[in-house]
Amino acid sequence: MRTIGYHHGDLRRTVLDAAVDAIGESGLDGWSLRELARRAGVSHAAPAHHFGDKAGLLTALAAEGFDLLAETLKQAGPDFLEAGLAYVRFATEHPVHFGVMFQPKLYRADDDAVRHARERAGALLAQGARAVAASPAGSANTARAGWSIAHGFASLWLAGALTEPAGTDPVDAARPVLRRLLEG
Amino acid sequence: MRTIGYHHGDLRRTVLDAAVDAIGESGLDGWSLRELARRAGVSHAAPAHHFGDKAGLLTALAAEGFDLLAETLKQAGPDFLEAGLAYVRFATEHPVHFGVMFQPKLYRADDDAVRHARERAGALLAQGARAVAASPAGSANTARAGWSIAHGFASLWLAGALTEPAGTDPVDAARPVLRRLLEG
DNA sequence: GCCTTGAACTTGTCAATGACTAGATCAGGA
DNA sequence: TCCTGATCTAGTCATTGACAAGTTCAAGGC
């Protein structure tokens, strides 16, 4: 990969990574395409070639996020608790992706790449959530309950709403919480 | 209340409402202070007098949101299921407030009004979540589980992630899901 | 009735941004 | 060698957020 000269060589990835950094530092409002271009050392219009506009960049981020989530869920297997913990791990390890993914108004949710990745993750998610279903009658609601509790815990954790001792691992903190759904 | 003349009479509320409308229509990126000023029929700098800057406006929105949530929870009483459904109702009836509240990077989370309102809502929330706790030992985690499942369901609903028949009431849809936490 | 005071709002301004257009550079294949 | 498409630069314009300074108005003291 070349880093100097007319052609950057890997601008798309570089800008994407810079966006994750910038959003992670300053939130979803604290970044600009021009700032990303400056970080990458290219002209202010270069990112537009790869992403079109701001929404296009977030669309790419969302698609990447659903892909990463699908991979994480795949490795966790079909067990509910493992899938739920994997969900929390993904969210806390990729907070920017997670934050963008579930705000469809920020990007083009009907984009092909996004839709495909989302469906792939959705299938794996349903598989994990189905594992917690006792009675077939309530399986749909049980699946929703499983997704909700994992998603809710991750969201609250990222929002800083859960007061935990500093240094606590979010996955460790999530385990006894997710278990509550199994025990009653 | 006067609507014409040099003094608007109720600019703060008008701009706040306009912000909710604008964000509801175009998302958290699709609005500007100047657009809100135009909608309210005042000069482009008028909103700044009440909110300082963009983050100031979102801070006011967040504070209002926590207040509204506290009221809703108060009416629901200490029962977990009722509190959880009230939480979902609040989120779906005030999606913009809800969306802002749990993105602390968008506003000044250490603002006095916000902190006060958040603590008030938090106390009521803990009360509702405690009602689901069976064993005192697990009560902290059970409370977290209750909050997580309600928050998660609301978030996924607002994100359009839950595929329900059109016209379904979110509170009705949430009831059997939240119940899963009680039944196991 | 007059003046003071402060809140509410306007006008003017500037750097920064998003988006667009046209053009330059480069790599690879026919 | 030339052609084609992808990649990036340079230039531009309306819009925006933020700030400074000035204007209007209401309410209360005298």
pLDDT value of residue A166: 83
Residue-wise pLDDT tens digits, A17-39: 999 999 999 999 999 999 999 99
Calpha distance B75→B97 (Å, rounded) = 19
- Strand C closer than 7 A to residue B9 Cβ: yes
Closest chain B C-alpha to A153 CA, distance in angstroms: 5
Q: Can you give the CATH number for the domain in which B19 is found? A: 1.10.10.60
- Strand D closer than 7 A to residue A150 Cβ: no
Q: B26: helix, coil or strand?
A: helix
Domain-ending residue, one of B32, B52, B72: B52
Q: Can you give the CATH number for the domain in which B128 is found? A: 1.10.357.10
Residues A167 and A101 in one domain: yes
Closest Cβ–Cβ partner in A141, A153, A162 for B176: A141
Calpha distance B97→A66 (Å, rounded) = 26
At residue A139's C-alpha, the angle toward residues A117 and B99, to 5°, is 55
Mean pLDDT over B123-152 rounds to 82
Residues A46 and A59 in one domain: no
Residues A68 and A153 in one domain: yes
pLDDT value of residue B128: 79
Q: Is the pLDDT of residue A134 over 60?
A: no
Q: Is the pLDDT of residue B56 over 90?
A: yes
Residues B47 and B62 in one domain: no
Protein CA A4 to sugar C1' D8 (Å): 12
pLDDT confidence tier of residue B164, bands split at 50, 70 and 90? confident
pLDDT value of residue B136: 59
Q: Is the pLDDT of residue A126 over 70?
A: yes
Q: Which nucleotides of D are covered by protein (CB under 7 A)?
A: 7-12, 15-21, 24-26
pLDDT confidence tier of residue A1, bands split at 50, 70 and 90? very low
Residues A44 and A112 in one domain: no
Residues A85 and A32 in one domain: no
Residues B65 and B118 in one domain: yes
Residues A48 and A89 in one domain: no
pLDDT confidence tier of residue A8, bands split at 50, 70 and 90? confident
Residues B144 and B104 in one domain: yes
pLDDT value of residue A3: 45
Please name the residues between 73 and 112 in chain A that touch chain B, using a CB distance below 8 Å: 99, 102-106, 109
Tally the domains of chain B.
2
pLDDT value of residue A127: 83
- The answer to whether A161 faces chain B, any CB pair under 8 Å, is yes
Q: Is the pLDDT of residue B3 over 90?
A: no
Judging by beta carbons within 10 Å of its beta carbon (0-12, 13-18, 19+), is residue A137 exposed, middle or buried? exposed
Residue-wise pLDDT tens digits, B5-52: 667 778 999 999 999 999 999 999 999 999 999 999 999 999 999 999
Judging by beta carbons within 10 Å of its beta carbon (0-12, 13-18, 19+), is residue B24 exposed, middle or buried? middle
Mean pLDDT over B108-130 rounds to 92
For an interface test with B, give the residue of A25, A132, A139, A180 to mutate (most B CBs within 10 A): A180
Residues A25 and A104 in one domain: no
pLDDT value of residue B134: 55
Share of chain A above pLDDT 70, in %: 92
pLDDT value of residue A32: 97
Q: Is the pLDDT of residue A82 over 60?
A: yes
Residues B78 and B23 in one domain: no
User: In terms of residue numbers, what domain contains A159?
Assistant: 54-183
Residues B11 and B85 in one domain: no
